[in-house]
Amino acid sequence: MKTPIVVLLLFFSVSCVSAQEEIVTSFGEGVAVATLKDDGLDEISGLACSRILQGLIYVHNDSGGEAAVYILDSLGNNVGKIELLGAENRDWEDIAIGPGTDGKSYIYVGEIGDNNAVHDEIVIYRIPEPSTRNPTSQITPEKTILKYPGGARDAESLMVDPISGDIFILSKRDSLNTLYRLTASKFGSSEEELEELIKLPLTSATAADISADGSQILVKNYLAIYYWKRNPGESIVQAMSRQPIELPYSPEPQGEAIGFLPSGKAYYTLSEKRFDLEPVLYKYTTK
């Protein structure tokens, strides 16, 4: 008989507690800063804070939604969108900000959801981060088609290393979630195979992010937020090979989005709409 997923989540949550004695962070409890009232934003599964336009947040809906990145202000108001021409939202699951090899800031969108592990290919879309506050725009994205070594996987977590530019995907449905990488130089190729890196002591990952300076890493599932401090000169793998610590988390009905503010001194979480509960934007700030 399979172990119920809730039992696994609780086990991994407890297993991280001892690491809290080694690293101390000062993030406080989540504060509700906005309730999203827009009926068109009811299945948000990815969140990233602009690195160029202060106070703006990029989000997207998941499977079957419009192929668009929506722009929110810091109070959760929908202030615009970017339509990705020629793209399909089969199951978008996360969004990230990171550099290209040209040094410019880009928005990366992960077509990486696959609940039943039936799709041979996934896609990462990329568009330049806007430099002006235009409320609505259209753009044809760059994209790279990806395959996993060993066959299809379900994933909901995407992050980009601001130091190397490498792209990371974290699987969801294995009992020890697996970290994969696409090196920065390979983005733009017509098709690539992801590199399998390490397995992490957590399961059911739903979102991830790396701070703008590369020194902090977040991964969340439905019950907890996990945190790694990255030392100068370390790779993402070296940092995440240590046991994570748990950060404060205000439980959400189906929380699938997390993102650092550019300063790294706060992060947001956001849930899909479930059980007739409107999505609430939570902010966690250093004390």
pLDDT digits (tens, 9 = 90+) for 236-274: 999 999 999 999 999 899 999 999 999 999 999 999 988
Which residues partner with 47 through β-bridges? 59
pLDDT number for residue 127: 98
Please say if the pLDDT value at position 177 is more than 90. Answer: yes
Please say if the pLDDT value at position 13 is more than 90. Answer: no
pLDDT digits (tens, 9 = 90+) for 136-152: 899 999 999 999 999 99
Please say if the pLDDT value at position 4 is more than 50. Answer: no
Distance CA 212, CA 189 (A): 25
CA dihedral 167, 97, 210, 31 (to 10 degrees): -150
Instruction: Mean pLDDT check: name the lowest of 84-93, 172-181, 269-278.
Output: 269-278
pLDDT digits (tens, 9 = 90+) for 76-87: 999 999 999 999
Distance CA 240, CA 120 (A): 27
Please say if the pLDDT value at position 16 is more than 50. Answer: no
Q: Where residue 19 falls among pLDDT bands split at 50, 70, 90?
A: very low
pLDDT number for residue 37: 86
Please say if the pLDDT value at position 15 is more than 70. Answer: no
- What average pLDDT does the chain have? 91
Mapped onto helix, strand or coil, the DSSP state of residue 219 is strand
φ, ψ dihedrals at 95, nearest 5°: -140, 145
Q: State mean pLDDT over 14-32.
A: 63
Residue type, 156: E
pLDDT digits (tens, 9 = 90+) for 36-45: 988 889 899 9
φ, ψ dihedrals at 21, nearest 5°: -75, -20
pLDDT number for residue 86: 97
pLDDT digits (tens, 9 = 90+) for 65-75: 899 999 999 99
pLDDT digits (tens, 9 = 90+) for 192-242: 999 999 999 999 999 999 999 999 999 999 999 999 999 999 999 999 999
Which domains are assigned to the chain?
11-285 (2.115.10)
Please say if the pLDDT value at position 96 is more than 50. Answer: yes
Q: State mean pLDDT over 128-133.
A: 92
Q: Where residue 276 falls among pLDDT bands split at 50, 70, 90?
A: confident
Angle at 273 (CA atoms; ends 78, 26), nearest 5 degrees: 80
Q: Where residue 175 falls among pLDDT bands split at 50, 70, 90?
A: very high
Distance CA 75, CA 214 (A): 26
